[in-house]
Amino acid sequence: MTTANLGRTIVLSLAGNRAVSNLVSRYGFKLGARRFVAGDSLADAIAAAGELNRAGIAVTLDHLGELVAEPEEAVNAATEGVAVLDAIAQSGVDSNLSLKLTQLGLDIDPELCWRNLRRVVSRAAELHNFVRIDMEDSSRVPATIEIFKRLRAEYSNVGLVLQSYLYRSEADQRELAALKANLRVVKGAYREPKEVAYPGKADVDANYLRLVKAHLRAGNYTAVATHDEKLIGEAIRFAEEARIPLDRFEFQMLFGIRKGLQRSLAERGFKVRVYVPYGRQWYPYFMRRLAERPANILFVLRNLLRA
Ligand SMILES: Cc1cc2nc3c(=O)[nH]c(=O)nc-3n(C[C@H](O)[C@H](O)[C@H](O)COP(=O)(O)OP(=O)(O)OC[C@H]3O[C@@H](n4cnc5c(N)ncnc54)[C@H](O)[C@@H]3O)c2cc1C
């Protein structure tokens, strides 16, 4: 195992540890969560979206939360999703919505999750907006795809995410291409065993490009979600060679990461969208961002010494 992989495994294990969770949740904004999270409230998120819009960058808002255990929490998450869509419409910011199915009750009851999601997507349809279903760990992929397909039969304003570290994603892309699914392609942020996911970066990157190219070639809208400049460059070269129109794809990055690259792509005329998370349940999201880059842990330690 490489040092980077080891660090990633340790941080992702800590993400599930209650004592660490309590500690980080208490001090996290001081430790640096603020760098990756727009704030506690919907108002903070709308303000961050407005600022990005002024730089020519679109947004997808995410009310943080996942793995809810009570039906009431799942219904509340759907209510918040509707509130986000209404706030987007009222404020006039250029943003859609991203959400996670375990936030809407996937682990409690897939039917409850489906009803909650349908409520959010139907409100988005009324407002001419769009909902993206984030992809969680591999154990939830089959149920997430099933719910997406069921909803896609009724609504066109809903999209999904595929992770290039999973072996299964190539077959999923082929199936979803036939449904003309709007896909966001990412590398994948969870700790996965080698039985289901490529352990090596080179394979994850190669599969990333295969997925992006296949989905674009099939004429489907594709969100190229990565901060990896090499992959972004190759996606641009492919789009030019294959004469993919600029309105068939967009680049997506996370709030607070590679801001210069976000702006330079927007200035070059590409559509760029930033994922803006907000809310109090930021701990697992923050830990995934730390796991992606060992330097982020040093950044947290520096803040700890300063606090
Ligand atoms: C818009 C968006 C939505 C996403 N949605 C999902 C999802 O639904 N499901 C899912 O599993 N994953 C999701 N991810 C996360 C994704 O799977 C990766 O974990 C994450 O994007 C890091 O991989 P990378 O493609 O940027 O490439 P990497 O090879 O990890 O990074 C390339 C370069 O980007 C920069 N970088 C990357 N991560 C960080 C960081 N945390 N802090 C600072 N710099 C960094 C560094 O300069 C690094 O060298 C999403 C990512 C984005 C951008």
Which sign, positive or negative, has the C-alpha torsion 97, 164, 250, 280?
A: positive
Q: Are 97 and 84 in contact (CB under 8 A)?
A: yes
Please give, one letter per residue, the 3-state secondary structure of the chain.
CCHHHHHHHHHHHHCCCHHHHHHHHHHHHHHCHHHCCCCCCHHHHHHHHHHHHHCCCEEEEEECCCCCCCHHHHHHHHHHHHHHHHHHHHHCCCEEEEECHHHCCCCCCHHHHHHHHHHHHHHHHHCCCCEEECCCCHHHHHHHHHHHHHHHCCCCCEEEEEECCECCHHHHHHHHHHCCCEEEEECCCCCCCCCCECCCHHHHHHHHHHHHHHHHHCCCCEEEECCCHHHHHHHHHHHHHCCCCHHHEEEEEECCCCHHHHHHHHHCCCCEEEEEEECCCCHHHHHHHHHHCHHHHHHHHHHHHHC
Tokens linked to 272: 């760029």
In-domain check, residue 66:
yes
Max Cα distance, the chain (Å): 53
**What was the pLDDT predicted at 28?**
63
pLDDT in tens, the chain (307 residues): 565 666 667 666 666 666 666 666 666 666 678 889 999 899 999 999 999 999 999 999 999 988 888 999 999 999 999 999 999 999 999 999 999 999 999 999 999 999 999 999 999 999 999 999 999 999 999 999 999 999 999 999 999 999 999 999 999 999 999 999 999 999 999 999 999 999 999 999 999 999 999 999 999 999 999 999 999 999 999 999 999 999 999 999 999 999 999 999 999 999 999 999 999 888 888 888 888 887 777 777 776 666 5
- In short, whether 258's Cβ falls inside 6 Å of ligand 1 is yes
Name residue, tokens 């901060």. 227
Looking at the structure of the chain, the number of domains it has is 1
Note whether residue 11 is domain-resident: no
In a domain, 300, yes or no: no
Say if ligand 1 is within 6 A of residue 161 CB.
Answer: yes
Check: CB of residue 190 under 8 Å from CB of residue 200. no
Determine the distance separating the centroid of ligand 1 and the alpha carbon of 178, expressed in angstroms. Answer: 27
Give the residue numbers marked as catalytic: 134, 184
Q: Which is the closest atom of ligand 1 to the Cα of 208?
A: 25
**What is the CA(115)–ligand 1 centre distance, in A?**
30
Query: Does the residue 45 lie in any domain?
Result: yes
**130 in ligand 1 pocket by Cβ < 6 Å?**
no
Residue 277: predicted pLDDT: 97
Q: Is residue 249 part of a domain?
A: yes
Q: Whose CA is nearest to atom 8 of ligand 1?
A: 134
4 located within any domain: no
| Most ligand 1 atoms within 8 A of CB, residue of 57, 211, 226 to mutate | 226
pLDDT of residue 89: 98
- Show the domain range for 264: 37-281
Could you tell me if 255 and 58 are in contact, meaning their C-beta atoms sit under 8 angstroms apart? no
Rounded to whole angstroms, the Cα distance separating 159 from 273 reads 15
Predicted confidence at residue 68, as pLDDT, reads 87
Q: Is 275 in the pocket of ligand 1 (CB under 6 A)?
A: yes
Pocket flag, ligand 1, residue 35 (CB < 6 Å): no
- Write the residue with the smallest CA distance to atom 38 of ligand 1: 292
Q: Is 227 within a domain?
A: yes
Distance 153 CA to ligand 1 centre (A): 30
| Distance between CA atoms of residues 200 and 167, nearest Å | 12
**pTM above threshold 0.85:** yes
Polymer length of the chain: 307
Ligand 1 center–CA 187 separation, angstroms: 7
Provide the CATH number for the domain around residue 169: 3.20.20.220
The pLDDT value given to residue 294: 73
46: in domain: yes
